[in-house]
Amino acid sequence: MPSDVFHDPTRSAPLSGLLVVDLTRLLPGPLAARLLADLGARVVKVEDPRGGDPVRAAAPLVDGASPLAALLLGGLESVTLDLKEAASVAALLELLAGTDVLLESFRPGTLARLGLAPTMLRQRFPRLVVCSVSGWGQEGPYAARAGHDLTYQAVGGALAATGAPPALPVADVVGAWAAVAAVLAALVARERGGGGAEGRGAWIDAALLDAAVHANVTGWAAHAAGATAVGEPLPLTGALPCYGVYRTRDGRKLALGALEPHFWARFCGAAGRPDLKSLQYAVDDDARREVTELVASHDRDEWVQLLAAHDVPVEPLLALGEAEAHPQVVARDLVRRGEDGLPRLGFPARFDGVRPRGGEEVPELGADNARVFGGPAAE
């Protein structure tokens, strides 16, 4: 594998030549745009001239800059348009004439009120792929309802097993990936289906509720075996003694993933407790207590060294600073620091050994108006 995989866009930019116009804000839509940029697409971010995407000011701030903005907006182009003004709508329509993908995250019906209904856009620009990222979807009784990642996961059942706020914004992140997958599929269908200029785009309805439901695939499998209540752990969320997080003697935590019988047998043998082999799938407090007390009898790193030597899936729980310095994370070039000192994340896959990556610099609000529109800022 090449050692310097983070900066060679010519080696792996499969979407080079595609133009994406991004009307989204906050996390899911901008993450989808960033992923497309990493894959080589040119992304023009259209922002409100009155402050732009709120992600620019998302806390925490480091020397006045938002790390989240650095992660999401690096390498994009920024233009400002007030879409409540007819001249700005006209400028956007002119831009869309040469656009491959339009991302938007307004509430359903908002684009139509602005004179930019997706159905109209599809008729006017047949090759355009319109991806509408919304919380609840474009139809249904909740379509116009307010929401956030937490509420989509709550309704989708993704929080049921723990009954607690999630460690990750799963609906937002999986929703972004689902949107990207749908966009890529629509682009492939456009090229295969119509051929040349006659290929047709699509209107994609990407709902974060859908993502929350789909991300909980193991939960749905467990639910099929019997209804579960909120707060009732499932096999992969703490119900099984062989698969969970335990506190060690030194007050640190250990992730034990001995889900398969051969891994559990190795764990019991290495720990000197062959009597625990029968408790691997026991769903009761006593079994969990036995393993809890066993793990608490040694320090975290002692367990890691012992169990790794016996090929048992076990790792320490790391803070983000520790994760950034982990040798495998470093070897994979997953996290790097930009010139501003803020983190940048590598696209989580490689193409022929090369990790695709878009640009790094976060554009100033409206910095590309003149270049994109051929004149001063259109507001």
Question: Euclidean distance between the first and final Cα of the chain, in Å?
Answer: 47
User: Domains in the chain: how many in total?
Assistant: 2
Same domain? 55 vs 117: yes
Domain presence at residue 241:
no
Domain presence at residue 12:
no
Q: Which residue has the tokens 């896959």?
A: 349
Each residue's pLDDT tens digit in the chain (379 positions)?
444 545 554 557 999 999 999 999 999 999 999 999 999 999 999 999 999 999 999 999 999 999 999 999 999 999 999 999 999 999 999 999 999 999 999 999 999 999 999 999 999 999 999 999 999 999 999 999 999 999 999 999 999 999 999 999 999 999 999 999 999 999 999 998 754 445 899 999 999 999 999 999 999 999 998 888 899 999 999 999 999 999 999 999 999 999 999 999 999 999 999 999 999 999 989 999 999 999 999 999 999 999 999 999 999 999 999 999 999 999 999 999 999 999 999 999 999 999 998 889 999 999 999 999 986 544 4
Same domain? 49 vs 140: yes
The span from the CA of 347 to the CA of 184, in Å, is 16
Determine contact, residues 171/209, Cβ cutoff 8 Å.
yes
Task: Evaluate if pTM is beyond 0.75.
Answer: yes
The span from the CA of 218 to the CA of 238, in Å, is 13
Same domain? 312 vs 343: no
Determine contact, residues 172/105, Cβ cutoff 8 Å.
no
The span from the CA of 336 to the CA of 346, in Å, is 8
Same domain? 274 vs 185: no
Domain with residue 160: its CATH number is 3.40.50.10540
The span from the CA of 134 to the CA of 132, in Å, is 6
The span from the CA of 169 to the CA of 159, in Å, is 11
Q: Which residues are catalytic?
A: 148, 172
The span from the CA of 268 to the CA of 360, in Å, is 48
Domain that holds residue 300: 253-316
Six-digit token string for 98: 């040469």
Same domain? 174 vs 302: no
Q: What was the pLDDT predicted at 199?
A: 83
Q: What was the pLDDT predicted at 197?
A: 45
